[in-house]
Amino acid sequence: METFNRLLDWLYFGVITPLFRAVGWVLSLVFIRPLAWLHTPIWLHVALLGALTAVLSLQIRHVLGVDEKVAKFNAMFAEKRRRQQNLQFIPDKYSREALYRVTDDELNHDFNTYLANHYARYVTVYLLPV
């Protein structure tokens, strides 16, 4: 376990921290320093950086194809739900209930998986640029 903790410490202090410092330095050099040299007010800094962050979020959303994935899931879910409604035509009550329970569990699993992926994509899209 100690070796694993050393590996994680090296990863955090040797790779992640220097990487974020370098990225922060470059972003400061590219975005903040020129605005400071132009003596723009702080509120304008915040507004411009917010606009750039929003544009970057929209670009990431487009690259990841979030809207297409949502539409694809909605179509698949509606089709499965429609097929589940056909179970009402099964004459045997116990068979119908068993099949309904199985398909309902499948729909719940699909929806929970979709929600997990959906929120992971939204975290990536909206928090990564920040």
Read off the tokens for 92. Answer: 């045997």
Residue 91: phi, psi to the nearest 5?
-70, -35
Each domain of the chain, given as residue ranges in start order, spans: 1-39, 54-130
- Digitized pLDDT (tens) for each residue of the chain, 130 residues in all: 889 999 999 999 999 999 989 988 998 898 889 988 999 998 998 898 889 888 988 898 899 888 898 899 899 988 888 888 877 777 877 877 887 788 888 888 888 998 898 888 888 888 777 7
pLDDT, position 99: 79
pLDDT, position 100: 79
pTM: 0.60
3-state secondary structure of 110: helix
Residue 40: phi, psi to the nearest 5?
-80, 150
Crossing angle of helices 66-85 and 42-64, rounded to 10° = 50
What is the C-alpha end-to-end distance of the chain, expressed in Å? 34
CA distance 22 to 1: 30
